Structure 1
Amino acid sequence: MNKSVMALSIALALTTSLTGCTHSSNKSSPVVQAENTRQLEAKKVNEIVEQFFTEMLVLDPLTATEVGVNDYNDRFIAPISKQSIEENIAFEQKYLNRISAIDVNQLSGQDLLSYQVFKRDREVAIAGYEFPEHYIPFNQMYGIHNDFAMLGSGESSQPFNTEKDYRDFMKRAEGFSAYMDSTILSMREGSKKGVVLPKAIIKKLLPQFQTHLVKNIEDSVFYGPVKQLQANTNINTNDKERLARDYSQMIQNVIIPTYQKTLSFLTTEYAPLGSDTVGLSHLPNGKAWYDHMITHHTTLPLTADEIHEFGQQEVARILAEMKKVKQTVGFKGNLAEFFTFLKEDEQFYFSSPEEVIAAYEGVKDKINSRVSQLFEVFPKADYQVKEVEAFRAASSAGASYQAPAPDGSRPGTFYINTFNLKAQPNFIVETLSIHEASPGHHFQASIQQEVESLPKFRKFGNFTVYEEGWALYAESLGKEMGLFTDPYQWYGRLVDEQLRAMRLVVDTGMHAKGWTREQAIDFMTKNSSMADSDIEAEVERYVSIPGQALSYKTGQRAIQQMRESAKKSLGSAFDIKKFHTQILIDGSLPMPILAAKIERWVDAQKVTAKH
């Protein structure tokens, strides 16, 4: 527990103790009765959210493994079917009914936040079942086919320490096979109803399945745990030999055939049926579907038109800032020529993946030495810098972050994609490190897990608009921390922000305004110096996960507005460190709930300042 949270916990404990002493002589007084009512409603909230989380882990054993609950490591999620979907809806409705029976007027503090977040989650989840997302169960960006490979690599959250661990994964592999069979049936049904992946996305999916069809078992990413057996001291030699044989047979007889069967379906049956269009608006009920995705990802009452206009304004503003950098470095050509120079000149690129990783490891200490200027709460967990694994590198984002293991057994991981070195210019090192690691995702995700007072559904919950909004806001703190003194590193910051601004235009353009994939690529090419391959991957990402890319800039703007409002209200009493603590200390929250919480904090600060 960090010092701030510990102090808060002690204060709450003292408050509770004193309250009990004060009223012990008059148990029937209205004050005591009101307090008892408040405590009873708060207790109900915590019971409901804990019961939900416990029951959810049974339904979603992969999440259980991810958060360190290993009771269901041999299980997989239920295959897609009408029955499983109806059971999921009933599960959400049951808990919505229970939380709705709580008297919200009796709640405050963490209990109020938990109520608000939990109720909203259930409502949005139920609304999402109006749209047939199960007809397109995976894509080149996110999908169980890649998640399962990461689990099976031996480098992720699935443990491989004992013989039982290995046997658990063998059993889980059978569940994976059954689930993938159900995706084929679901995609087949979707294609009949006009809900099908675009051809461009199907094309990017095929290599992700092909990579697992190895001739030599030892070349499989799933063979990683077998390679780890030699150094395992928990399993004796005879058991290791038998385990290695059984495990290899599982790869040969279960995993490889599953990937082969799905690949054959995608290639021969599904690909010819793929859509030539890329936007949700072209699908049945597509406009309403996209409106839901905006609500789901941004948590804000925004329309596609509003977001599109905001994006256009930001793109123009950032282009003007880029022109200033061009002038600062003395480049004589126009902005388009400056973009070409930055794309092609070798001084801006690394010569090997090792150089990329070394650069990010090098800037880590530089940033870590400065974060105390703006923060008073820090994660206990450290983070490591790693390359994106080869089996998913071709279609993965340029960088990503994976939270540390909840039990501290694994640090956070800042993944860098070195598949295309031209997509990793050296001028983005500072801004990308701030975003993905400290004080961006690493601060946010690690602190969220480490705050002991959070109920589990919030400790491990996430809202993209909060997480990505925070990370992009964190980038904006670079100059305040004395970074971006090199004009090219500042240009890198502008590159990252421009990417997020272009996303607003392109995502809404494709999903609400009928833009083609080519229009989106052309827009990003004209307004940035990004590598062509990077632009293509980004556009196809927005095709596959509508609305997600809107979260970054809308979240950043919301947090910045909260900061400006708090500073205006508090004046000289405003403390940036305490403001950042308030943003981070309660975990991932929808923007309206976070904004209301910050307003309550500001009001409390005013009262404190008066006294």
Structure 2
Amino acid sequence: MSFSTPLKKILNSKLIGLSAAIMAASLNVQAMDQKAFEKAMGEIPKKGASEKLKALQDIRYRWIMESYPENATYRGYPGGEKDWTDQSNKGIERRKGQTRELLAASRHIDEDKLPENEQLDYQLLYQDLLLQVKGYQFPEHLLPVNHMSGIQRNVPAVLSAMPKRTAADYEDILARLEKLPTLIDQTQILMEKGLKQKLTPPQITLRDIPGQIRALIPTDPKQSPLLKAFYEMPASIPAAQQTRLRNRAQNLYQKTLIPEWQRLAEYVERDYIPNANTETAFTKNDDGIRWYAYKVREQTTTEMSPEEIHRIGLEEVRRIRGEMDAIIKKTGFDGDFKAFTDFLRNDPQFYYDNKEDLLKNYRDIAKRIDGELPALFGTLPRLPYGVKAIPSYSEKSQTTAYYQPGSNEAGRAGVFFANTYDLKSRPTWEMEALTVHEAMPGHHLQIALAQEQSDIHPLRRNKFYTGFVEGWGLYSESLGYDLGLYTDPYNEFGALTYDMWRAVRLVVDTGMHQLGWSRDEAIEYFMNNSAKPEHDIVVEIDRYLVWPGQALAYKVGQLKIKEIRARAEEALGDNFNIREFHDALLGAGALPLNVLESRMNTWIESQGGEISKAQPVSDSGGQAALN
């Protein structure tokens, strides 16, 4: 894989930054409205590049936490526990204007006057703001809901992540619940505006949304994920107080929340789905070709075109298919590739009969992995993680698994969520690769380590670049061999199936959105090159339709990390140390792939290796949410 166009300057360094505790103490926590924003911007020092940079980093981090209170909840940042993001037109335009002001202010920092150890901080801040402002030319806000994300998915997740230790915590939850009608109204208004502009997710992907909404409002409030916390209150809260809080929540639920959510479900059924866009290609939207190219750049943090990524995908599919055929021969199976994948999809030996056994095996795999990690990593995170089932209200249309980051500040562990819906689509041969990716040494190790980097600014510790984060998750799957996994040929085939899954993504995402493939053609291609169950494949294809470009980051990032490792092994020879390599790779938190490559080239040279001066470096930074 090749990348092009280096940044104007990328310097690698040991970074300095304010700790979260120092920064939180220095900020007056209040809503980042225009008045508060202007006051903070007016206090940026007039002299000194370093002072300006630190002040701008503080403002940017505070702005993110207070403009998006849901993020603050996940991070344990105080002050926004009662609020939701303002999705009114005024709120959206205010945030756009403030981001443009932050970008303008960053341009007044003289990068050349910054100490060498601060230039990476500046480069990341500047290019993140620049990319975000460039994205404002596209009406992304008019796509607020799809079956993978949106108010019906985000609200219960945020409520679940809120602290639940004291009566005051429950007062915060109640305050948020009381503000839900406003958020629902704002969301529906955005959907209506999008519908008028013929901008919606593809109609076929919307089928489960009414059910997802209604799953939040069962007749029995005890069964609602919105009120779950009020039936699991800690004994430290007096019984009389528990009753009072619970009664308030139930009254709000019956009188307000059920009617409001029901109204939204009816709108989706009556107006939104029947009139939604029947085209599946994102490029069919107004200015869709440029918009998709932007998304590809944002997610991969490269300048690669969709066509180039498509070609790489085809090459990877051919390579992995050859390795899969070799495994089939090793098993002694009498039949072709299709017959073998049908065997893996249908033979009862590869499936559990109950959900608890499935979760138990995931936990067993996770525990086995944990004991082998010191051989590959010199530094491991302190934050623990757990394994849970994906909530029932979202499991049907959710992917195989996902990871939810924890937070030391919030006192919350990370969670590897596994899908237990339709056990006949959850084969055992995929479990080892999936656990490595979502938990350790994949997402939990990388994200928790980044959060614990006390020598970099909180803005950097909590940064998410999909190409790096998901690239690391996919690269981690290849470490399963070093961790004592994939000893069974079926599990080894499962690992290859997961690698193939991400290679297929390059082909079908670009195929559907750039090259004119139909949804059915994408499903057929996936089925012909993978052993994944058909239900999973359909869910995956629909995911690519509503999150165009996001799935490209996994394989692009993995290939770049593998390329960097191969370069280090060649340059360092017998002096290559895998533990030191991994610590260096993860030691600065998530980075755009171009910055990662430059940083690791410098590390290789610091270890005595030589890097060709003609080595290409990729361009562009991006940001995305973890799925």
> 1:171 Cα shift?
2.0
Q: Are the aligned partners of 2:60 and 2:102 in contact in 1 as well (CA < 8 Å)?
A: yes
Cα deviation, 1:71-110, whole Å, max 9, x if unaligned, reads: 11111111231x2222111111111122222222344565
Q: Which residue of 2 aligns with 1:227?
A: 231
Query: For residues 369 and 109 of structure 1, do their structure 2 counterparts lie closer, same or farther at Cα, with a shift above 3 Å needed?
Result: farther
Q: Which residue of 1 aligns with 2:71?
A: 63
Q: Which residue of 1 aligns with 2:243?
A: 241
Q: Which residue of 2 aligns with 1:550?
A: 552
Q: Which residue of 1 aligns with 2:414?
A: 412
Q: Are the aligned partners of 1:46 and 1:111 in contact in 2 as well (CA < 8 Å)?
A: no
| 2:134 counterpart of 1:127 | yes
Query: For residues 107 and 574 of structure 1, do their structure 2 counterparts lie closer, same or farther at Cα, with a shift above 3 Å needed?
Result: farther
- Please, which of 566, 578, 581 is the counterpart of residue 579 of structure 1? 581
Q: Which residue of 1 aligns with 2:54?
A: 46
Q: Are the aligned partners of 1:315 and 1:501 in contact in 2 as well (CA < 8 Å)?
A: yes
| 2:460 counterpart of 1:458 | yes
Larger radius of gyration: 1
Q: Which residue of 2 aligns with 1:500?
A: 502
| 2:336 counterpart of 1:334 | yes
- Please, which of 526, 534, 537 is the counterpart of residue 536 of structure 2? 534
Q: Are the aligned partners of 1:502 and 1:524 in contact in 2 as well (CA < 8 Å)?
A: yes
Cα distance in structure 1, aligned partners of 2:437 and 2:451: 18
Q: Which residue of 2 aligns with 1:373?
A: 375
Q: How does 1:79-158 map to 2 (within 5 A)?
A: 79-81=87-89, 83-107=90-114, 111-152=118-159, 156-158=160-162
SS for the counterpart of 1:414 is: strand
Q: Which residue of 2 aligns with 1:22?
A: none
Cα distance in structure 2, aligned partners of 1:244 and 1:524: 48
TM-score by length of 1: 0.90
SS for the counterpart of 2:434 is: helix
Cα deviation, 1:482-529, whole Å, max 9, x if unaligned, reads: 332211111010010011001101110111112221111111111111
> 1:430 Cα shift?
1.6
Q: Are the aligned partners of 2:405 and 2:413 in contact in 1 as well (CA < 8 Å)?
A: yes
State the 4+ residue runs in structure 1 displaced beyond 4 angstroms.
5-9
Q: Which residue of 2 aligns with 1:186?
A: 190
Cα deviation, 1:189-225, whole Å, max 9, x if unaligned, reads: 2112121221111112121012123222222122212
Query: For residues 331 and 607 of structure 1, do their structure 2 counterparts lie closer, same or farther at Cα, with a shift above 3 Å needed?
Result: closer
Cα distance in structure 2, aligned partners of 1:443 and 1:541: 25
Cα distance in structure 1, aligned partners of 2:244 and 2:369: 48
Q: Which structure has greater helix proportion?
A: 1
- Please, which of 236, 255, 261 is the counterpart of residue 253 of structure 1? 255
Gaps of 5+ in 2: 1-12, 18-46, 611-627
Q: Are the aligned partners of 1:77 and 1:175 in contact in 2 as well (CA < 8 Å)?
A: no
Query: For residues 107 and 484 of structure 1, do their structure 2 counterparts lie closer, same or farther at Cα, with a shift above 3 Å needed?
Result: farther
Query: For residues 261 and 6 of structure 1, do their structure 2 counterparts lie closer, same or farther at Cα, with a shift above 3 Å needed?
Result: same
Q: Which residue of 2 aligns with 1:301?
A: 303
SS for the counterpart of 1:272 is: coil
Gaps of 5+ in 1: 10-38
| 2:424 counterpart of 1:422 | yes
Q: Are the aligned partners of 1:157 and 1:405 in contact in 2 as well (CA < 8 Å)?
A: no
Q: Are the aligned partners of 1:196 and 1:273 in contact in 2 as well (CA < 8 Å)?
A: no
Q: Are the aligned partners of 1:74 and 1:172 in contact in 2 as well (CA < 8 Å)?
A: yes
Q: Are the aligned partners of 1:395 and 1:537 in contact in 2 as well (CA < 8 Å)?
A: yes
Q: Are the aligned partners of 1:311 and 1:503 in contact in 2 as well (CA < 8 Å)?
A: yes
Cα distance in structure 2, aligned partners of 1:571 and 1:41: 41
Percent identity for Structure 1 against Structure 2: 31
Q: Are the aligned partners of 1:398 and 1:423 in contact in 2 as well (CA < 8 Å)?
A: no
Cα distance in structure 1, aligned partners of 2:293 and 2:88: 25
Cα distance in structure 2, aligned partners of 1:115 and 1:174: 40
Q: What letter matches 2:471 in structure 1? A: G
SS for the counterpart of 2:566 is: helix
Cα deviation, 1:323-379, whole Å, max 9, x if unaligned, reads: 111110100111111111111111111111111111111112321222222211111
Cα distance in structure 1, aligned partners of 2:560 and 2:522: 26
Q: Are the aligned partners of 2:16 and 2:118 in contact in 1 as well (CA < 8 Å)?
A: no
Q: Are the aligned partners of 2:15 and 2:456 in contact in 1 as well (CA < 8 Å)?
A: no
CA RMSD of aligned residues (A): 2.1
Q: Which residue of 1 aligns with 2:287?
A: 285
Mean Cα deviation higher: 599-608 or 180-189 = 599-608
Query: For residues 570 and 109 of structure 1, do their structure 2 counterparts lie closer, same or farther at Cα, with a shift above 3 Å needed?
Result: farther
Give the total of aligned pairs. Answer: 570
SS for the counterpart of 1:277 is: coil
| 2:438 counterpart of 1:436 | yes
Q: Are the aligned partners of 1:141 and 1:541 in contact in 2 as well (CA < 8 Å)?
A: yes
> 1:238 Cα shift?
2.6
Q: Which residue of 2 aligns with 1:514?
A: 516
Cα distance in structure 2, aligned partners of 1:112 and 1:424: 47
| 2:169 counterpart of 1:161 | no
SS for the counterpart of 1:481 is: coil
> 1:42 Cα shift?
3.0
> 1:607 Cα shift?
8.5
> 1:46 Cα shift?
2.1
SS for the counterpart of 1:488 is: helix
Mean Cα deviation higher: 211-220 or 313-322 = 211-220
Cα deviation, 1:407-448, whole Å, max 9, x if unaligned, reads: 372221111100021222111122111111111111101101
SS for the counterpart of 1:413 is: strand
Query: For residues 190 and 61 of structure 1, do their structure 2 counterparts lie closer, same or farther at Cα, with a shift above 3 Å needed?
Result: same
Higher relative contact order (CA 8 A, sep 6+): 2
Q: How does 1:329-408 map to 2 (within 5 A)?
A: 329-407=331-409
Q: Are the aligned partners of 2:70 and 2:158 in contact in 1 as well (CA < 8 Å)?
A: no
| 2:209 counterpart of 1:205 | yes
Q: Which residue of 2 aligns with 1:271?
A: 273
> 1:8 Cα shift?
11
| 2:476 counterpart of 1:474 | yes
Q: What letter matches 2:139 in structure 1? A: P
> 1:7 Cα shift?
14
SS for the counterpart of 2:148 is: coil
Q: Are the aligned partners of 1:405 and 1:411 in contact in 2 as well (CA < 8 Å)?
A: yes
Cα distance in structure 2, aligned partners of 1:184 and 1:235: 37
- Please, which of 162, 168, 174 is the counterpart of residue 170 of structure 1? 174
> 1:552 Cα shift?
0.3
Q: Are the aligned partners of 1:466 and 1:588 in contact in 2 as well (CA < 8 Å)?
A: yes
Q: Are the aligned partners of 1:444 and 1:467 in contact in 2 as well (CA < 8 Å)?
A: yes
Q: What letter matches 2:73 in structure 1? A: T
Q: Which residue of 2 aligns with 1:31?
A: none
